Amino acid sequence: MKNRKFLLFVLALTLGMFLAACGTADEDGAEDNTATEGNEEGTSGEDATSTDYSVAMVTDVGGVDDKSFNQSAWEGIQAWGEEHGLSQGEGFDYAQSTDKADYMPNLTRFVRDEYNLVYGIGFELKEDIQKAAEQYPDTNFAIVDDTVEADNAVSITFKEHQGSFLVGVAAAMKTTTNKVGFVGGVDSPLIKKFESGFIAGVKSVNPDIEVDVQYAESFADAAKGKLIATNMYDSGVDVIYHASGATGNGVFNQAKDIKQNDPEREIWVIGVDRDQHDEGTIGDHNVTLTSMVKRVDVAVQDVANRGMNGEFPGGEKLEYGLEQDGIDFAKTNEEAMTGEIITAVDEYKEKILSGEIEVPSTIEDLEAFEESL
């Protein structure tokens, strides 16, 4: 009896395994090959979803919380990830660079982790992005604020001189001392675009306004930024535009220190890359006049979506300006940015868009521009 029960058990088990094996056949006996066909298509097919695409960024030495372009880029990647149901470490991530020697190791780590698209934020990563693109042709790369030459890399640049011109107009209309300042990070062709556009905007309103220009030679030295700002404000400058990444935190700190000790003094900072209104808050006051907003967040989302959709613009040089809503100026400080100032800035903006004004992007072009005034 026991042997008979055991035999029945074995037969039932065998029959169950047979039925399970046939379960993927349709009524005609054909196998369902959906899973196999999907694997053959890979992530390049139409079924590729956001979960099949991953994006990472490597900061420059300013860091992800520089309150400037690194932070703006990271906010853009976070927004892209959240839009597609991803989370940090599961679809998108960043690597902090504290030294230039960190750039290549950070880039190669993301290649090793099989991220589809890796951003290098800032022109200081140009050489390393170029090298990585050549070494890893199966990975897509993007450089922000400079250009590289590779079929698997895209160059993302902005017309910073246009936005700098607009905040220059605001500075010229706000100053009461006819002295304004410009604090640059590293003296380079990129930051010269900010400087040239800013001075052109100032001089368009009043050619007699004095513009003090100084460079910190760092995007991560808040102490140097504070020292430069101290000297400028002590000399009578009442509006400083900074294009210096985290170094600009020192400019804000000095302006807030002055405002705290002398609440009646008119002292201003113009932020850069993102709306830095919050950085200027000191008690009931705010020393941020406006900011030159460079929509790095919009650009990185745009390129990430193109890559996810199988349309990565490899080898292209993308430039975002006023025409693409990639550049603008902040109007957050309604008390400081009066209607008169905003109206004037908007009028100059229309002149740029119409082609009536061609904003200089180099010191040589600036000199010719000033001669025409």
97: CATH: 3.40.50.2300
Average pLDDT over residues 148-177: 98
CA distances from residue 93 to 74, 117, 205, 246, 254 in whole angstroms, order as listed? 9, 11, 44, 21, 33
Residues 154 and 179 in one domain: no
- The answer, yes or no, to whether residue 39 has pLDDT greater than 50, is no
Helix, strand, coil percentages, rounded to 5, for the chain: 50, 20, 30
Residues 240 and 348 in one domain: yes
Domain-ending residue, one of 306, 328, 353: 306
Q: With bands split at pLDDT 50, 70 and 90, how would you rate the model's confidence at 47?
A: very low
Backbone CA torsion sign across 342, 236, 232, 230: negative
> Would strands 288-294 and 317-320 be described as parallel, antiparallel, or unpaired?
unpaired
- Supply 299's token pair: 């650009």
pLDDT of residue 1: 46
- Distance between CA atoms of 44 and 48, rounded to whole angstroms? 6
Average pLDDT over residues 142-152: 97
Helices and strands in the chain: count of H runs, count of E runs: 12, 15
pLDDT of residue 51: 60
At 212, the amino acid letter reads D
372 phi and psi angles, rounded to 5 deg: -85, -10
157 phi and psi angles, rounded to 5 deg: -130, 170
Number of domains in the chain: 2
88 phi and psi angles, rounded to 5 deg: -60, 130
Q: Is residue 87 included in any domain, yes or no? A: yes
Q: Is residue 10 included in any domain, yes or no? A: no
Residues 203 and 236 in one domain: yes
CA distances from residue 252 to 86, 179, 222, 293, 368 in whole angstroms, order as listed? 35, 18, 9, 17, 32
- The answer, yes or no, to whether residue 5 has pLDDT greater than 90, is no
Residues 136 and 125 in one domain: yes
Residues 152 and 115 in one domain: yes
At 281, the amino acid letter reads T
Residues 128 and 59 in one domain: yes
Q: Give, as one character, the DSSP assignment of residue 212.
A: E
Q: Is residue 57 included in any domain, yes or no? A: yes
Residue-wise pLDDT tens digits, 207-244 = 999 999 999 999 999 999 999 999 999 999 999 999 99
Residues 99 and 165 in one domain: no
pTM for this one?
0.81
Residues 268 and 354 in one domain: yes
Say if residues 103 and 125 touch (Cβ distance below 8 Å).
yes
- The answer, yes or no, to whether residue 276 has pLDDT greater than 60, is yes
Give me the chain's average pLDDT, please.
Answer: 89
Q: Is residue 128 included in any domain, yes or no? A: yes
Q: Is residue 110 included in any domain, yes or no? A: yes
Q: Is residue 39 included in any domain, yes or no? A: no
Q: Give, as one character, the DSSP assignment of residue 25.
A: B
Strand ranges of the sheet holding 140-144, from the earlier edge strand across to the other edge = 87-88, 91-95, 55-58, 117-121, 140-144, 153-158, 317-320
Domain extent at residue 250: 160-293+338-372
Q: Is residue 8 included in any domain, yes or no? A: no
Q: Is residue 329 included in any domain, yes or no? A: no
- Distance between CA atoms of 213 and 182, rounded to whole angstroms? 5
pLDDT of residue 67: 84
- Supply 329's token pair: 């100026």
At 97, the amino acid letter reads S
Residues 95 and 165 in one domain: no
12 phi and psi angles, rounded to 5 deg: -65, -40
**Of the candidates 278, 273, 323, the residue with the CA atom closest to the CA atom of residue 295:** 273
What angle (nearest 5°) sits at the alpha carbon of residue 208, between those of residues 259 and 275?
45
- Distance between CA atoms of 195 and 294, rounded to whole angstroms? 15
Domain-ending residue, one of 282, 306, 330: 306
Residues 165 and 149 in one domain: no
Residues 149 and 187 in one domain: no
Residues 358 and 242 in one domain: yes
